């Protein structure tokens, strides 16, 4: 059994419940918007690997050119999205993907999209 002093020197425990994902945290606004519209978007993502996280399936649907990178991440331990792009590129990509996502959501269910856009504006988040 470890003493309290030994436990403290080991530092905090790793959170093993963290989601293993290619791009979710690299494109946070897209991920948030996608989560907000999850109920209407899930059917569109059914063709992507179930073991991929929801944000990664969403990312692949919005930007098919990333499919091989996402697949490589899961199958061959490839790099995550945050290591493939510079910070300014990720910011630009997050904005562009968020705009595309809102347009696609609007075609599926305009009501859900209006609620999400209203919330974004009320909280000072701009997608335009």
Hey, is 100 helix, strand or coil? helix
Cα–Cα nearest to 103, from 74, 76, 128, 86: 128
Whether 30 has a pLDDT exceeding 90, the answer reads: yes
- What was the pLDDT predicted at 22? 77
Residue 19 pLDDT grade (very low, low, confident, very high; cuts 50, 70, 90): low
Q: Is 107 exposed, middle or buried (0-12, 13-18, 19+ CB in 10 A)?
A: exposed
Residue 3 belongs to a domain: no
pLDDT over 70, % of the chain: 82
Residue 39 belongs to a domain: yes
- What was the pLDDT predicted at 112? 93
Residue 109 belongs to a domain: yes
What would the mean pLDDT of 74-101 be, rounded to a whole number? 93
Residue 75 belongs to a domain: yes
**Tens of pLDDT, residues 37-77:** 999 999 999 999 999 999 999 999 999 999 999 999 999 88
Q: Is 101 exposed, middle or buried (0-12, 13-18, 19+ CB in 10 A)?
A: buried
**Range of the structural domain that residue 80 is part of:** 23-122
Residue 18 belongs to a domain: no
Residue 7 belongs to a domain: no
Count of the separate structural domains present in the chain: 1
Which range is least confidently modeled, 1-10, 60-69, 113-122?
A: 1-10
- What was the pLDDT predicted at 12? 34
Whether 102 has a pLDDT exceeding 50, the answer reads: yes
């Amino acid at each position: 059994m470890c003493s309290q002093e030994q436990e403290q020197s080991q530092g905090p425990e790793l959170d093993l419940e963290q989601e293993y994902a290619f791009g979710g945290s690299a494109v946070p606004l897209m991920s948030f918007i996608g989560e907000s519209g999850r109920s209407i978007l899930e059917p569109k993502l059914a063709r992507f690997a179930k073991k991929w996280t929801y944000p990664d399936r969403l990312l692949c649907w919005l930007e098919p050119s990333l499919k091989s990178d996402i697949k490589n991440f899961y199958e061959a331990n490839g790099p995550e999205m945050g290591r493939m792009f510079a910070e300014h590129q990720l910011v630009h990509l997050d904005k562009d993907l968020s705009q595309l996502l809102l347009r696609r959501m609007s075609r599926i269910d305009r009501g859900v999209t209006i609620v999400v856009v209203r919330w974004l504006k009320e909280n000072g988040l701009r997608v335009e």
